[in-house]
Structure formats: structure tokens, C-alpha cells
Structure 1
Amino acid sequence: MNSRALYRLFSRPHWRYHSIMASGILALPLMLIFAATVGDMPVSYLHACKAILNGLGMTRYDLPQIEEGIVWQYRMSRALMAACSGGGLALCGLVLQSILRNPLAEPYLLGISAGASLGAVCVMLLGIGGSTLGVSSGAFIGACGAFTLIMLITHGMSDSPPRILLAGIAGTQLFNALTAYVVSTSANAEQSRSVMFWLLGSLSGVRWPDALLALWVTLAGLVVILIFSRALDTFTFGDEVSTSLGIPVTGVRIVLLLTCALVTAVMVSTIGAVGFVGLVIPHITRFITGPGHAHTIPMTFLIGSHFMILADIVSRTLITHQVLPIGVVTALVGAPAFVVMLYRSREKRG
């Protein structure tokens, strides 16, 4: 199969693709504004829009200081972080599933999230790195170290994808156990509660520096992944086909894996380890767009962003005057969705 045939196979646009993308892009700012109106202190859409415009420096509307502060400083930064983390984690899941040719691959199952959590906790509680190593840097080192260990265990990328996945699951349990040990032995009761809540996924402490860092890292990761969309298409047919088409397989995989590690580390260091986003969203996207990554990559980012914003809204409103860990919400939605997709795939094979 030559490169022209591959291009025709993967560039065939779905008839709904452009309309869904346009609708999703237009709806994303509305979702962010909606998230800014929801909470224990309801804010009207008009006041929320005015507060956002004031925060952007475009206007100087006269609003109550508390209301404006809640909308701009707390809710909008939180909503932007939710959009970035949802889109970023969904992209990482898509890339890992393509590289490993395994529909179950995602940062959470492959140990990347668990390694990032361990690195972040070691910096927070043990003070590793002193003042020179931040939480994000510790999480990135932990994510890279976790995946490197898994690759060494499975003798590198040439090993079978199922064994890599099983090694990732084992690594996840190991890193989670080490994280629990560090928390149990190095934190007091209050620190233990806050860290464990954070590990389940929490957007409560997000502020604008965190959200802006996540935005730039996620957009950079999106650009890098889009650049290698053709290489991801060829990975579907195996390494021999990719090599015959001039794809430097090892180099591309290293770049994409480091990109996934960086994106995952930034998200985990800010909101904790959130599962099922990178697992379920790519499968939903493929039902809409088909296998071509030129279409699948932006759609995955968009659906992941919307999903995470909705999950954050649910986490703040499901129980009155109480915030659930966002990882609980994503699991409650993602697990049944994944079961449905498994059932549908079995029906198609039958």
C-alpha cells in the first residue's frame, strides 16, 4: 500500500465532521461562560460576560467586587483548566492507542499518570529538589521515569502491545502504592486528606498561572501531534509499513511519547490523576470521524474539552454545598460508556 492509497483511505471526510467541528468550536466559549455562572453563588449570564470582559481588559463595567472576583479569578480559570486538561488527556489517549495499537492504552493505565502523581507528591511532601524543582517539574520527571521503566521491563517498543499494557497496569499499581506510602509516612492528617482528594482529581486550587501554563502546553502538544498525524495513520498498519513510507518510527515515537508525558505531567501536577478521559474520548471520536488522524485529533481535543467542563460543573452541583473530586465524575460517566462501546464492538464482530 503506497502513501497515496493511505492518504485516500484516511482523508475521506465524514459528512458530519465539519458541522460538528464548527458547532463545537462555537459552543466552547459558551460552555466556559456557562461554567462561570454555576456555583453556590449563582451569577447571571450578563454579569458573567461583563466580568469576563473586565478581566480581559476590554471593558470597565461596574460590578460588585466579590461577584467579579468569583467569576474571573475562580470560575473562569477553573473552566479553562478543565477544557485544557480534558482536551490534553484525550489527545494523549489517542496517541498512545495509535502508537501501541491497543484500544485500552491511555496515560492512566500505562502508568504515566501514576508516575506523575508520585513525582508531584515527592516534591510536595518530601521536598525533593528543594526550591529548584517545582511540582510540575517533579510530575514530568515522574511521568517520564514511569514510562521509561515500563519500556525497559517490556524490552522497548518492539515488544507486543498487550505486554506493554500489562506492564503499565502493574506499574500503575506500584506507583500508586509508593504514593500512598509517601503520603502515609510523610504527611499529617490534614495534608493526607488534601493530597488524597487532589489525587482523585480536583480543580479547586486552580488559578490563572496554572490555567495559562496548561493552555500553552496543551496547544503546543496539539500542534506537535497534528504534525505527526500522517505518521500516526501509518502506525495502524505496523512498523514495516511505516518504515517503507519513510517514517522514522523510533524518532516519531520518542517525540510523541515525550509530548504525552509533558502534557500528562502538567495536568496531573495541577488537578491530580483523572482516569477514563484518555480512554473513552478517542473511541467516541472515531465513531464520528473514522480512523484518519487529521480529523480525529482536533475532534478529540474538542470533545475532551467539552466533556471535562461538563464534568467539573457536575462535580460542583451534584451535591449541594459540596465539591466532588472530578475523577469520581469522569469514572461514573466513563466506565458505563466504555462498557457500551465494548458491547457495540462485540455486536459488530458478531
Structure 2
Amino acid sequence: MEKTPPPATAPTPSTAPASSTASAPETPAAPAASRRSRTFLLTLGLTVALVVGCLLSAAIGAYSIPLGDVLSSVQHRIGLGGQALDRVGESVLWNVRLPRVVLALLVGASLGCAGALMQGVFGNPLAEPGVIGISAGAAVGAVASIALGLSFFGNWTITVCAFVAGLATVLLVYALSRSGSRTEVVTLILTGIAVNAFAGALIGLFIFFADNAQITQITFWQLGSLSQATWPKVLAVLPCAVAGLLIAPFYARKLDLLALGERPARHLGVDVERLRIVLVLVLALLTAAAVAVAGIISFVGLLVPHLLRMANGPGHRFLVPASALGGGVILVAGDLAARTVAAPAELPLGVLTALFGSPFFFWLLRRTRRRQGGWA
């Protein structure tokens, strides 16, 4: 007679609960720790890249200055020891190189941060500051001041006209797209497209009536460049850039809630319309100031936030300040390449960013379409 095998021994109560309780808190904590570590490493990497890029940009050029001399001169100027360079080196570093480096940093940070805000407001990772006509409006102001020979602000006329026209264009787009005390994203985008087309027609009209010298100046401005960087221009963009960069992170949490959709965000206490108005004004301030001093530089506000979102997720508490850092890195490195790749000639910075940004944007479109299984 066969013996029935004894039933399998169940795990003792002391063992099973111990293992389950030991593993339970580790499951949610591990991704959070990994995300914090990745955020820290990305922030540290961007900061180091920005510092290294600024030092290299200050040292490399037609008149080469060793990195040690750059650091020594900076230490001497701020009273921490070091020593001054010779007369030519000191003039090149402080009157030519450093204003250009600081301006590239401010413009890049402004465009990167504005791109992150734009994508958050529109809920579309492929949006960029030019969508609602800021860049085109600023270009109209600059081109008009050149073609009409305006000079009521002296050397500041082009910058002032570009800045005022950029802000006025944003306010116009927002007023035209507003209906019943509300503004829909689709209406805002379509209005921006129409205003961009109208601004392009105005630019063409001004170019048609301009003489050859004015056409050359208009073309050079539209291509985007930092070759005319001076400390006064840095001071002109500094208040707008600092104000926008300081205000933007305070709205990161509300942007995260807005990403859930307008209706859920309203239920969670977000005044969506007020949030949209404030952020559109902030990104208009950042973009108009950047375009006014550097011309039209495309793709920085589009690509930098998108890359960071791919690397660390869509959380705006990291994305907004990191986009400012990333924009600064890209523009400092791009300006260094623009003035050294074809030396002694200098490539327009806007052309360089478009040459590298356009293929990458096409790749992003293909990647997004493939992952979503089509647009429909």
C-alpha cells in the first residue's frame, strides 16, 4: 500500500512576513532614490559643463590666453589674489571675450527656460518660444528701426525697438486669442501662426524699401550673432533674464498639475487662466530680451527642454532650472564654435544652431511619431 506523501511544508509565519515587510518599503523608495541621484548627476554635469565652456570660451580665440592666466586675471579683478595680464591680454579678456561669454550665457539660459515654460503651458514637448510670435515680433521692431533709420536711442535703438515689439506682439496674440475670459491653447497657437505670417510680410516689406547697406545690416541681425557683445548689452539683458529666471521655478509645481489637463488642474486649485497669463508674460520677457540683443537664434528653446525631459522625465522642478543651465551650455559652446571653426571668419550663431538643430528636430518628430504609433 502506497504511502501518501506528506503535504508541502508551508513557510513559517516568522519567515514570510519578515521577507515581505523587509521588501515592501524598498520597492517605492528605490525609484525615488534613483531619480534623485540622476537629477543630482545631471545638474552637476550641466554646471561643470557650463563652467568649463565659459573658461574655454574666454581662453580660446585669435589671441590665445592660457586658462591659468584667465583664472589669475579674474581672481585679481575680484580681489582674491592673482595678477593682471599684459595690457593687450587684459583688454581682450575683459572688453571682448568675457562680455561675449556672459551674454551667451544669459541669452542661452533665457531661451532654454522660455522653451521649458512654453512646452509646459502648451502641453506639447515640440513647442518653442517662436510659436506665438515673440521672435517674429522682435524681428519686425529691429528691422523697422534699421530700415527707417531710427536713432532716438542712439546705439540702443535696435535693441529697444526689438524688445518693445516682441512684448507688444505677445500681448496682441493673447488679446486676439482670448474669448469669454478664457484662452484655449489651440486658438493661441493658430493666432501665433497668423501673426508670424503677418510679421514675415512686414519684414519683407521693410527689406524691399531698404537700401543695400540697410539690407546687409538687417540680414546680419536676422542670422543671429553675439559678435557685437559689450558690457552695456549685458546690462541691458541682465534685468529681464534674471527676473524671468527667478520667477519661473516658482510655477514648476503648477505646471506639473497643468500637465494632468486643464480640468484636473482646476479641481486641484490651479487658476489655469492666470497661470497661463503670467507664464506667457515671463517667457515673452525672456525671449524678447534675448532676441533683442542677439538676433534670431532658433532651436535652443525647443531642443534643450526636450532632451532633458528624455533624460530625467517631465517634472518641471528639475526641468525649468536645468533648461536654463542647458541653454547656457549650448549657446556658450555654439558661440565658441561659431568664431573658431572657420577662423578668421565667423559663422552666424543662428545659422549654426539651425544647421545642427534642424536634423535633430526631424529625428525627434520621427521618434515621437513612431512611439505614438502615428499622429491620429
| TM-score (norm: length of structure 2) | 0.82
Q: Distance in 2 between matches of 1:326 and 1:320?
A: 14
Deviation at 1:137, TM superposition (A): 3.8
Asked whether 1:13 is paired with 2:38, we answer: no
Deviation at 1:85, TM superposition (A): 0.9
Moved more, 72-81 or 38-47: 38-47
Q: Distance in 1 between matches of 2:73 and 2:278?
A: 40
On the 8 A contact 1:285/1:300 being kept in 2, the answer is: yes
SS of the residue corresponding to residue 346 of structure 2 reads: coil
On the 8 A contact 1:140/1:265 being kept in 2, the answer is: yes
Deviation at 1:173, TM superposition (A): 2.9
Moved more, 88-97 or 165-174: 165-174
SS of the residue corresponding to residue 253 of structure 2 reads: helix
Amino acid at match of 1:29: V
| 1:186-265 equivalences in 2 (<5 Å) | 186=210, 188-265=211-288
On the 8 A contact 2:163/2:291 being kept in 1, the answer is: no
Deviation at 1:32, TM superposition (A): 0.8
Q: Which residue of 1 aligns with 2:361?
A: 338
SS of the residue corresponding to residue 108 of structure 1 reads: helix
Q: Which residue of 1 aligns with 2:26?
A: none
Deviations for 1:285-306, whole angstroms, at most 9, x for unmatched residues?
1012211100111111111110
Match of 1:30 among 48, 52, 58: 52
Moved more, 170-179 or 260-269: 170-179
Amino acid at match of 1:21: T
Asked whether 1:292 is paired with 2:315, we answer: yes
| 1:153-168 equivalences in 2 (<5 Å) | 153-155=176-178, 158=182, 160-168=184-192
Q: Distance in 1 between matches of 2:166 and 2:34?
A: 36
Identity of aligned residues (%): 31
Q: Which residue of 1 aligns with 2:17?
A: none
Q: Which residue of 2 aligns with 1:103?
A: 125
Q: Distance in 1 between matches of 2:323 and 2:70?
A: 28
On the 8 A contact 2:178/2:184 being kept in 1, the answer is: no
Given the superposition, is the C-alpha separation of residues 22 and 274 from structure 1 closer, same or farther in structure 2, using an over 3 Å criterion? Answer: same
On the 8 A contact 1:136/1:265 being kept in 2, the answer is: no
| 1:71-86 equivalences in 2 (<5 Å) | 71-86=93-108
Q: Distance in 2 between matches of 1:209 and 1:12?
A: 44
Q: Which residue of 2 aligns with 1:116?
A: 138
Aligned residue pairs: how many?
341
On the 8 A contact 1:200/1:274 being kept in 2, the answer is: yes
Q: Distance in 1 between matches of 2:279 and 2:159?
A: 19
Deviation at 1:231, TM superposition (A): 1.3
Amino acid at match of 1:161: V
SS of the residue corresponding to residue 13 of structure 1 reads: helix
Q: Which residue of 1 aligns with 2:18?
A: none
Given the superposition, is the C-alpha separation of residues 71 and 235 from structure 1 closer, same or farther in structure 2, using an over 3 Å criterion? Answer: same
On the 8 A contact 2:182/2:273 being kept in 1, the answer is: no
Q: Which residue of 1 aligns with 2:88?
A: 66
Q: Which residue of 1 aligns with 2:204?
A: 180
Amino acid at match of 1:53: Q
Given the superposition, is the C-alpha separation of residues 315 and 300 from structure 1 closer, same or farther in structure 2, using an over 3 Å criterion? Answer: same
Q: Distance in 2 between matches of 1:160 and 1:230?
A: 21
Q: Distance in 2 between matches of 1:65 and 1:52?
A: 15
SS of the residue corresponding to residue 112 of structure 2 reads: helix
Moved more, 276-285 or 212-221: 212-221
Deviations for 1:53-111, whole angstroms, at most 9, x for unmatched residues?
34445556242211221112111111111111111111111111111222332122321
Amino acid at match of 1:295: F
Deviation at 1:234, TM superposition (A): 1.5
Q: Distance in 1 between matches of 2:113 and 2:90?
A: 33
SS of the residue corresponding to residue 109 of structure 1 reads: helix
RMSD of Structure 2 on Structure 1 (CA) = 2.7
Deviation at 1:115, TM superposition (A): 0.3
| TM-score (norm: length of structure 1) | 0.88
